[in-house]
Amino acid sequence: MTYSVNLILASYVILSVFLWVPAVALPAPTAASFGATGDGMTDDTAALQRAVDAGGPLVLDPGTYRLTAPLIIHLNADGYMGITGASGTARLLMEGAGPALYLIGTHGGTASPATVKPAIWDRERFPIISDLEIVGAHEEADGICLEGTMNCTISRVLIRNCLHGIHLIKRNRNFILSDSHLYENKITGVFLDRVNLHQIIIVGNHISYSGSVGIHVLGGEVRNIQITGNDIEYNDDAEANAADVLFDTREGTLREFTICSNTIQAVPSPGGANIRILGTASAAADRSGLGSISGNIIGSQTVNIDLQHTRGVTISGNSIYSAAELSLRVRSCRNLTVTGNNIDYNPSVENRMRDGIFIESCKTVLISGNTLADCRWGTAEQGGAITLVDSQHALISNCIIMDPAVRGIHLINCTSCRVTNNIIQDTREPRRMIEAIAVSPSSEEISILDNTIPKIEE
């Protein structure tokens, strides 16, 4: 009887243990599961396309995967999608034209939850690409292209030798790029190509050595773009009009932008700029603007910051240095605030810099609390460290202007302007400054009060 009881108890314990063993989740399929070799010689395009079409997350094991055509991910058909490499050891070698990865979604709404259809949440939301390298090995190869995506997130990728590192087209919403390296791409690091895009964050990346532009917004409708904490440098070309950051919305609109806490530098190139924002010509200058350029290190280009037909921009707290022509050039803008910036130069490139602030045909301008050292902009006839031409309703106050080449401040054909509480000095021997403050005879309603300037020798 005792033996039977013990046997029953033992059976119960064994059965209980069996029943309580937790289920073990199967690992996500890898590229090898679909026949991809990653040996750097085999064409893995068809195998990887089969893997993508199977849906779900795809893991690329260490290796080099040759592609001769784009991997096309139709999110609506393939469902939730994530493509990840093994801690950066996987490489996609793009030997065909077009993007290595082309994500196509169907989101046609906005970022408002009410406009997001259930199918987007059920099939398409939040595609992730991470932890891999993409190398262009074809003259028309691209890195990653996004179309119709919702909440796409790209992180920890290295993309190089492509036409464009990341290329956004048509309509997308809520895009994040972080912790990535877009390096030595032939034209652009990040290209917003006539895209309708609201809510984009570019944070913590290295975007450098692009052939023309680091971050390029061209046309389209862009809102809420934040560029923060990046190193954006040497995106210049021997050709004209290169830029580290270029917002060209002459055939579009751009509002609500932040360019904050970045290092943005290059070498002077013909017509080049570190930051260039070009809006649509209009009396109100209201197609581009409502933004902040703050807390950046910006230097060593032909023009450091170049604004045209833009309104509602604040430029504050930046260290701006070594412009071959101008530190800040602003044309046909409205409601501009320039405050708390340090405009200086790198002594190692002193022979090629000029620096200075040039404002032309603008309305409602505040220039306050800036430090300007050794600015060489201007000629014996006109111009100075701060030059305003054909502008109205401007206040220049509380600035320190040291050792300008020709003048401290020059107002030319301006109306309703006030220059007050500035310190303008020439500490060199012999002195070189022609005038501390100059006002053209064509200017009207000009008030000049309480400035500290060198004593005029009799």
pLDDT category at 457 given cuts 50, 70, 90 is low
Average pLDDT over residues 98-107: 94
What are the pLDDT digits (tens) for 314-349? 999 999 999 999 999 999 999 999 999 999 988 776
| Model confidence at 379: pLDDT above 90 | yes
Q: Look up the pTM and report it.
A: 0.91
Nearest to 388 by CA among 432, 338, 324, 317: 338
What are the pLDDT digits (tens) for 192-220? 999 999 999 999 999 999 999 999 999 99
Q: What angle do CA 271, 276, 282 make, to 5 degrees?
A: 105
Q: Which one is predicted more confidently, 59 or 21? A: 59
Average pLDDT over residues 238-254: 89
Return the minimum-mean-pLDDT range out of 26-40, 223-237, 255-269, 426-440. 26-40
| Model confidence at 351: pLDDT above 90 | no
What is the per-residue pLDDT for 27? 58
Across-strand partners of 231? 206, 263
| Model confidence at 54: pLDDT above 60 | yes
What is the per-residue pLDDT for 2? 45
Q: Which one is predicted more confidently, 11 or 312? A: 312
| Model confidence at 279: pLDDT above 70 | yes
Cβ(406)–Cβ(430) below 8 Å: no
Return the minimum-mean-pLDDT range out of 16-20, 103-107, 320-324. 16-20
Peptide bond before residue 430 is cis, with ω within 30 degrees of 0:
yes
| Model confidence at 265: pLDDT above 90 | yes
pLDDT category at 239 given cuts 50, 70, 90 is low
Residue 20 is inside which H or E element, if any?
helix 2-20
| DSSP reduced 3-state for 86 | coil
Average pLDDT over residues 91-120: 91
pLDDT category at 120 given cuts 50, 70, 90 is confident
Q: Which one is predicted more confidently, 287 or 420? A: 420
Mean model confidence pLDDT for the chain:
90
What is the per-residue pLDDT for 456? 58
Average pLDDT over residues 151-155: 96
Kindly state the percentage of the chain with pLDDT values over 90: 76
pLDDT category at 437 given cuts 50, 70, 90 is very high
Distances (CA, A) of 19 to 14, 15, 128, 239: 9, 6, 36, 71
Return the minimum-mean-pLDDT range out of 66-70, 73-77, 250-254, 354-358. 73-77
Return d(Cα 265, Cα 275) in angstroms, integer: 10
Average pLDDT over residues 221-225: 96
Cβ(332)–Cβ(351) below 8 Å: no
| Model confidence at 16: pLDDT above 70 | no
Cβ(299)–Cβ(330) below 8 Å: no
| Model confidence at 21: pLDDT above 90 | no
Pairing of strands 400-402, 263-265: unpaired
| Model confidence at 364: pLDDT above 90 | yes
Report residue 430 as tokens.
Answer: 């012999």
Q: What is the topology classification, in CATH, of domain 28-210? A: Pectate Lyase C-like (2.160.20)
| Model confidence at 180: pLDDT above 70 | yes
What are the pLDDT digits (tens) for 123-139? 878 899 999 999 999 99
Q: Which one is predicted more confidently, 105 or 183? A: 183
Sign of CA dihedral 231, 163, 111, 225: positive
